[in-house]
């Protein structure tokens, strides 16, 4: 039975003095280093990271502990906010609609189309076991967890991941996917 393990990591703390796509704060570097030491023994096949600076820098630090693992920027794990289309607004509680309406255009992922493609891309099994590391953002992780739990479409809201929190989801042939760990910060 083939198995896919995805280790989803939120980037380290962003430098609050940096511009919007700023890099890590000193604490963010420390968080990433501690996580890297924790993950050093895991046999990852690849590291996929968001193209934003905070995720790239987190990946840089993790790679020091995982030098044999190839890595690359990956649009599937870019920062996105799922927002309902006009036809799907009833899928979300009214209390969230004004907040979702205010999401900037460049972050909007209408009806989570891009995030659904990300789950379809990564959440599959093949002929052999696969273990991959995804350095990404809070809402992306929330979407993966919501999907695995088969929760209502809006339940990614409130699934908050700490900076460098570790979430592990698993797919096995002929079984439903499962959440192995959510927002594990034992390395911090």
pLDDT tens, the chain, 188 aa long: 799 999 999 999 999 888 777 899 999 999 999 999 999 999 999 999 999 999 999 999 999 999 999 999 999 999 999 999 999 999 999 999 999 999 999 999 999 999 999 999 999 999 999 999 999 999 999 999 999 999 999 999 999 999 999 999 999 988 999 999 999 999 87
Question: How confident is the model at residue 22, as a pLDDT?
Answer: 82
* The pLDDT of residue 1: 75
Distance (Å, whole) CA 182 – CA 167: 4
The full set of domain ranges for the chain reads: 3-184
CA distance 42 to 58: 17
In angstroms, rounded to a whole number, what is the distance separating the alpha carbons of residues 72 and 56? 9
Q: What is the pLDDT of residue 21?
A: 77
Give me the pLDDT at residue 102, please. Answer: 97
Q: Is 41 exposed, middle or buried (0-12, 13-18, 19+ CB in 10 A)?
A: exposed
Q: Residue 47 corresponds to which tokens in the numbers above?
A: 């590291």
Domain 3-184 superfamily per CATH: Phosphoglycerate mutase-like (3.40.50.1240)
CB atoms within 10 A of CB 112: 22
Sequence-distant (≥ 6) Cβ neighbours of residue 155 within 8 angstroms: 146, 149
Query: What tokens were used for 154?
Result: 């809006």
- Can you say whether the dihedral through the CA atoms of 56, 61, 63, 67 is positive or negative? positive
Structure confidence at residue 98 (pLDDT): 97
């Amino acid at each position: 039975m083939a198995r896919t393990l995805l280790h989803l990591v939120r980037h380290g703390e962003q430098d609050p003095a940096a511009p919007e796509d700023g890099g890590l704060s000193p604490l963010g570097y420390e968080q990433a280093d501690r996580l890297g030491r924790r993950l050093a023994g895991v046999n990852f096949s690849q590291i996929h990271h968001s193209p934003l600076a905070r995720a790239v820098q987190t990946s840089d630090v993790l790679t020091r502990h995982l030098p044999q693992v190839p890595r690359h920027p990956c649009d599937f794990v870019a920062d996105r906010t799922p927002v309902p289309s006009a036809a799907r607004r009833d899928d979300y509680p009214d209390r969230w609609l004004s907040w979702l309406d205010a999401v900037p255009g460049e972050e909007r992922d209408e009806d989570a189309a891009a995030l659904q493609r990300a789950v379809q891309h990564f959440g599959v099994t093949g002929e052999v076991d696969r273990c991959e590391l995804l350095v990404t953002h809070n809402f992306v992780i929330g979407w993966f967890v919501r999907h695995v739990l088969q929760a209502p479409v809006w339940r990614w809201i409130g699934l908050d991941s700490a900076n460098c929190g570790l979430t592990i989801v698993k797919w096995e042939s002929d079984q439903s996917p499962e959440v192995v760990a959510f927002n594990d910060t034992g390395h911090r």
